Structure 1
Amino acid sequence: MINSVITGSGHYLPNRIIKNDYFHDYVFFDENGEKILKPGDEITQKFEEITEIRERRYVEDDLLNSDIATFAAKKAIEESGVNLEEIDYIIVGHNFGDIDPIGKQIDIMPSISAKVKHNLGITNLKCKPYDMTFGCPGWIEGLILAHQFIQASIAKKILVIGSDTLSRAVDPHDRSAMIFADGAGAVILEAKEDDYKYGILNYDSLSYTGPELDYLKNGKSLNPDYKGSIKNIRMKGRKVYEFVLKNVPPALTDLLTASNLDLDDIDKILLHQANAKMDHAMIERLYKSYGKKAPENIDPMTVQFLGNTSVATVPTMFDLIAKGQLQPHQFNANDTIIMASVGATMNVNAVIYKFKK
C-alpha cells in the first residue's frame, strides 16, 4: 500500500522575543471605541492569567513571510534528503501573504508558494505552487490536500508549509494584539510503499460559514483616530471560545470513531494554540465525553512562549518534539497522534498520524 509519510520537518522562529511588558505603554481601546483607562501592567497581567502567554516572537523588519517560510522549508528538505527538483507541489498555508513592515500593505501576488519555489531555486516547471488560505487550520488543510494528491497517485513528494507574520496584521490598540506572533513550520510528505499502514491514517475537515464567518475577520482599528492600516485582525474572543468548546471535541470524537480508534489509542494531541485556557478546556471536554481524565502531557503546549503563530503552530510544535526540543514530549516508534486546528471562517480540521514501527 502507499502511505503518506512525513520524512522531514523544520521550523523558523524569529530572534525578537517580545515579553508582555512590551505592551505596558500601549493605549488600548474597547469595542465601543472608548479608551481603556486601566494601567498597562494590570492589562497584561490579566491577559497572561487568561491565555498563559508570557512572550512571543516578532519577525525582524528586513524579513518577509515568504522568507521565513523558505527558512523552514530548507530545514525540512535537508532532513528528508529529497532532491529539490523532485518536489511535485509546494503548498503554503498563510493568511496575509507578505506584509510590508512600514505601510502594512498585504501582498499575495506572486503567491507565497511561488516565492518560496523561487527562493529555493527550483527550476522544475512541473513543481506546482499552491497557497492555502484556510485560517489557522491552513497548514493541516495543506497536509490533507497533499495526502489526497499522494493517495490519488498525482504526486510523490510534497512540501507543506505554514507561515505567518501576524505581528504586522494586528491593531496596536486592541488587546488581542498580544495573542498573535510570527513563525514558520514545514514538512516533506512523501509516498512510501509498505505492507502495513502508517503515516496519515485519516482526516476530517469542517467549514462553518454562517454567523461564525464574522468571529475572526479584518477590520478598522478600535481607536477611531488610528492612522495605520485599515485591515487589522478583529476577533470576537468569547464567540471563538464558545465555538471551539462546542465543536472541536465532537469533531475529534467523530474522526476517531470513523477511524476505528479509541481515545486511549492516541499518544499525543497537537492542537493549534491561541489561548491555553481554551486548549485545556477543549482537552478536558474531549476526555470527559469518553468518561476519562486526560493523561498528563497528552497535549504539548507552546503558546506560553511562542504565542499564536496561526498556521505555523502545529508544524512548529511537531518539529520541536521530533527534534527533542520540547521536553518531556517525544515521538516514539508506532505512536499515534492527532494534529488539529480551528480558526477563521470558522474552520475545524484534524489529521490522525501514525509513526512507523
Structure 2
Amino acid sequence: MHQSGIGVAITGCGSSAPLAALDNDGLSRIVDTSDEWISTRTGIQQRRLAKPNESLKSIASEAARHALDMAGVAATEVDLIILATSTPDDLFGTASQIQAELGAVKAAAFDLTAACSGFVFGMVTAAQFIQAGTYQTVLLIGGDVLSRWTDWSDRRTCVLFGDGAGAVVMQANPDRNGLLGFELCSDGRQNECLTLAFQPQPNELIEDITIGQGTFQPIAMNGQEVYRFAVKRVPEVIEKSLYRANLSVDQVDWLLLHQANQRILDAVAQRLGIPSHKVISNMARYGNTSAASIPIALDEVVREGKVKPGDVIAASGFGAGLTWGATIFRWGKA
C-alpha cells in the first residue's frame, strides 16, 4: 500500500434518507411475510423509500451539504466529487449533476460502481488522489435508490432494501494520516450470486443487423451464498487491513460493516473477537442501502457523540460483483 508524506483526514460526515418509511407490517400487506420473520432473520424493521419526485441527486446532495457543513468546507473548495452508486439517475452519471446542485464549480466529478462495497472502494480511491498530492479536498458520497430495481413481489429480496445517501469530506493533512490501512477484493466468478442485470431484447434494424435493446431486470440474489461469502471473506479482509495498519483487533474502537443483515454483523464480530458494544448497527431503521449504508451509520454515531475524534474504525463493504474490501481509518481532524 502506497504511503506518502501527505496524510488524509476525514473531517465531516452527513446523511439523508427519504421520509417515507415502509415497516414490516406494511410489507406483509404486499407479500406473504411477517414482522417476526423479517426481524429474526435480518434485523430489519423498516426501510426508507424514495417517492417518484425524489432522486438520487436530491438525496445525495443533501447528505453532501451536511458533510460539508460539519467539515467547515465550502462547496467551492471541493476539488473532486466521487459518487459511489449502482442506481444513478442517468446512466451517463449523476456525480456531475450533484456538482452543479452544490455549486462545486471547480470540482471534477465521477460515478464509481462497486455495489455495496462502493463506499469503501471510493474512500480508497479518494485517498490515492490526496496522497498523490493531486487534490486537497474530496467529497465522497455513497448513495442508492434500490427501490427502483426491487421486485416487490419477491419476498426473498424486497424485505431487505431501502434508499438513502451518506457522505464524508476527506482532506489533505500533513500532520495526520486518517486512512491507516486497506484491502480491496473482487471475484467475478461469483457474480451470479447477486445481480441487477441488463436484459437485451433483439431489435432488427435492417437485414443481418440485429442489436439488443431493453432494460435492467430487478435485483436477484442467492441469499445463502452471499451470507457464506460475507461471513468468510469480511473477517479476512479486515484482518489484512489491520495488518497493513500495524494494528491489532483490540485497538479497534468501532466495527462499521455494510448494513446487509444483522446475522452477518454478529457473525463477523464474533469471528474477529470484537465485542457487540463496538459494533455499529442501524439497519433496523434503514434496511440495506447498498453504498449508502456505511456513511449513513457513521453519520448517526458521530452526531450522537458515540464516535469521538481519534477513534479507530474498521469498516468493510461487501456485495455484488462480488466485491469486498475494508478500510481502517481514524475519525476526525485531530
Asked whether the two chains share a fold, i.e. TM above 0.5, the reply is: yes
Letter in 2 for 1:72: A
- Which residue of 1 is the match for residue 321 of structure 2? 345
- Which residue of 1 is the match for residue 161 of structure 2? 180
Shift in Å, 1:334: 2.8
Q: Is this contact kept in 1: 2:238–2:327, CA < 8 A?
A: no
Which of 7, 14, 17 is the aligned partner of 1:3?
A: 7
CA RMSD, 1 decimal: 1.9
- Which residue of 2 is the match for residue 34 of structure 1? none
Q: Kindly report which structure 2 residues correspond to 1:114-125, keeping only aligned pairs within 5 A, or say none.
A: 114-124=96-106
Q: Kindly report which structure 2 residues correspond to 1:1-357, keeping only aligned pairs within 5 A, or say none.
A: 1-27=5-31, 40-42=32-34, 44-98=35-89, 107-109=90-92, 111-124=93-106, 127-175=107-155, 176-194=157-175, 197-210=176-189, 212-218=190-196, 231-287=217-273, 294-324=274-304, 330-355=306-331
Q: 1:330 is paired with a residue of what secondary structure? A: coil
Q: Is this contact kept in 2: 1:267–1:336, CA < 8 A?
A: yes
Encode CA deviations 1:223-250: one digit per residue, 9 max, x unaligned: xxxxxx7511111100101111121111
In the aligned structure 2, how far is the partner of 1:17 from the partner of 1:23? 10
In the aligned structure 1, how far is the partner of 2:240 from the partner of 2:70? 34
Encode CA deviations 1:69-124: one digit per residue, 9 max, x unaligned: 111111111221223222111000000212xxxxxxxx322x11011011112332
Gaps of 5+ in 1: 28-39, 99-106, 222-228, 288-293
Q: TM-score under structure 1 normalisation?
A: 0.84
Q: TM-score under structure 2 normalisation?
A: 0.89
Encode CA deviations 1:251-293: one digit per residue, 9 max, x unaligned: 1112212222110010101000111112111111222xxxxxx
Q: 2:276 is paired with a residue of what secondary structure? A: coil
Encode CA deviations 1:121-146: one digit per residue, 9 max, x unaligned: 2332xx21110100111111111111
Shift in Å, 1:172: 1.1
Letter in 1 for 2:26: Y
In the aligned structure 2, how far is the partner of 1:279 from the partner of 1:130? 31
Shift in Å, 1:332: 2.4
Q: Is this contact kept in 2: 1:220–1:232, CA < 8 A?
A: no
In the aligned structure 2, how far is the partner of 1:296 from the partner of 1:277? 12
Letter in 2 for 1:253: E
Shift in Å, 1:170: 0.3
Sequence identity (%) = 32
Shift in Å, 1:47: 2.2
Which has the larger displacement, 147-156 or 48-57?
48-57
Encode CA deviations 1:199-242: one digit per residue, 9 max, x unaligned: 111111011111x1111102599xxxxxxx75111111001011
In the aligned structure 2, how far is the partner of 1:23 from the partner of 1:319? 27
Letter in 1 for 2:328: I
Q: Structure 1 stretches (4+) deviating beyond 3 angstroms? A: none
Letter in 2 for 1:352: I
Q: Is this contact kept in 1: 2:76–2:103, CA < 8 A?
A: no
Q: Is this contact kept in 2: 1:93–1:133, CA < 8 A?
A: yes
- Which residue of 2 is the match for residue 290 of structure 1? none
Q: Is this contact kept in 1: 2:269–2:276, CA < 8 A?
A: no
Letter in 1 for 2:36: Q
Letter in 2 for 1:254: K
In the aligned structure 2, how far is the partner of 1:296 from the partner of 1:52? 14
Letter in 2 for 1:282: V
Letter in 2 for 1:205: L
Gaps of 5+ in 2: 200-214
Shift in Å, 1:150: 0.5
Q: 2:219 is paired with a residue of what secondary structure? A: strand
Cα gap change, 1:201 to 1:178, in 2 (>3 Å)? same
In the aligned structure 1, how far is the partner of 2:96 from the partner of 2:74? 18
Count of residue pairs brought into register by the alignment: 314
- Which residue of 2 is the match for residue 104 of structure 1? none
In the aligned structure 2, how far is the partner of 1:41 from the partner of 1:130? 39
